[in-house]
A and B are shown apart, each in its own frame.
Chain A
Amino acid sequence: MTFFNEMAMLFTRYNSFFYEGVRNTLIISAFSVLLGIVFGTLMAMLRMSKILPLRLLATAYIEFIRGTPLMVQLMFIFYGLPMVGIQFPNIPFIPDFSRFAAGIVAMSMNSCAYVAEIIRSGIQAVDSGQMEAARSIGYSHSQAMRYVVLPQAVRNILPALGNEFVIVIKESSIVSVIGIADLMFRTKDVIAVTYRTLPSLAIAAVIYFCMTFLGGQLISWMERRMSHGKG
């Protein structure tokens, strides 16, 4: 039996494992990206704040998150928080809610730091002359930001944000270590049942690739639409 035949056989027989894994991976990734963008925007604002303590706090957070492994952060949230009395509750009808909550919190806290840096650098990459020109004709700082700087910053931010989305999909595989039945977790299940390690991993790789590739295409399509008519 060739390798590809083996992959096809495994996928046909265990497709429900892979489907469930994909679903959970997408749930974790989508929530993490969404929350990451919301809190990342806030974090970027703190990072550029005129108030020094806020700026320092945001900088420290970003540096800490970027300087430690996601695995460690995830362990801290999932095992560490309950030790100091903070529990993610289990709620009825949503199985494994506490695990998912921990996974999403850790992933989005992580993503938040990267998104904040993406937004900050996107804004600061806009030529400072644009802000000056706007101020010189009487726009207030916030008007200049809103009508002149941010629309230009978005075009710097969007491609990097798309990249971040792809990274989150891949990195989310780490939540399998806390028992969330994501694609990686279910792939290991298939391996445990069949002892077919390489073909199972190959299936997972192909599925991950399809998700990131389609995600990337979606983002670049959005980019093209947004940059229409502008140089």
Chain B
Amino acid sequence: MAKDEFLQVVDLHKRFHKLEVLKGISTGFRRNEVVSIIGPSGGGKSTFLRCLNLLEVPNSGQIIFDGVDICDKKQDINLHRQKMGMVFQQFNLFNNANVLHNLIDAPMRIKKLPRETAEEMALRLLGEVGLADRVDAYPHQLSGGQKQRIAIVRALMMEPEVMLFDEPTSALDPEMIGEVLDVMKRLAEDGMTMIVVTHEMRFAREVSDRTIFLDDGHIEEDKPSHEFFDHPESPRLVSFLDKVL
């Protein structure tokens, strides 16, 4: 296990009743690294990602984040989650609040940021994703692509150390996928650490440094993206890539 990994996963197991979804996952993530996780549906990709910030509580194993095991019940998970942004397939913007409120509420309430600072930051980040003019809109007035870009900004507002993406483009119309991927690509170029569960093979290949193939609760293959796609080894990965590429 490399020393420069700030997020390490050791022998992670997760069961839903009798169904074993994660059967012992061990890996690590370095700062500024962009990692894609691909694999067939039901293979455990989303569950794995959701375990990283304990939205799902693993049955056994360790998740060591900045040197502490966050699975330890004594750890304040709310504190760690502030440092891990998450973007969902279904966006999950707060429906009862407008865009600005969606963005500034958590920084003000949890990080005690003054309102002016939070608003300034929100407007700057909204500008960067091209949505500065939608600051007063409510979620139901926005397109899927706009919602997802705002959800990304909402996570960024907490200045996280790592961003988790759970199939961020799967619920989008095809013409909106590009605008979200562009934002993610720029985020990667800016050096954000990203862990992305995705079906976008081009993103995995071209943007991420490393790609993990998760199938049937195991990591089948885990290596630098260009090698991963040019020289897949495991037969299951070869047949998977045959189907999706």
Contacts and interface: CB of A to CB of B under 8 A. Distances in A.
Given A135-B81, A136-B53, A138-B82, A230 B106 contact: no
Interface residues of B, number: 28
Interface of B: 53, 55, 78-79, 81-82, 84-86, 88, 90, 92-96, 105-106, 109-110, 138-141, 151, 154-155, 158
A1 interface: no
B138 to A, nearest CB: 6
Contacts of A143: 109-110
Interface string A127-152: 10110111111111001000110011
Interface string A60-90: 0000000000000000000000000000000
Contact of B92 (A129, A139, A152, A230): A129
Given A147-B105, A231-B140, A133 B88 contact: yes
Contacts of A135: 55, 78, 81
Nearest to A154: B96
Contacts of A137: 81-82, 85-86, 106, 110, 154-155, 158
Which of B85, B92, B93 neighbours the largest number of chain A CB atoms within 10 Å of its CB?
A: B92
Given A136-B81, A147-B109, A151-B96, A229 B53 contact: no
Nearest to B160: A137
A147 B151 CA distance: 17
28 contacts: A127-B92, A130-B92, A130-B94, A132-B92, A133-B92, A133-B93, A133-B151, A134-B94, A135-B55, A135-B78, A136-B81, A136-B84, A136-B86, A136-B155, A137-B82, A137-B86, A137-B154, A137-B155, A137-B158, A138-B82, A139-B78, A147-B109, A152-B95, A229-B138, A230-B138, A231-B95, A231-B139, A231-B141
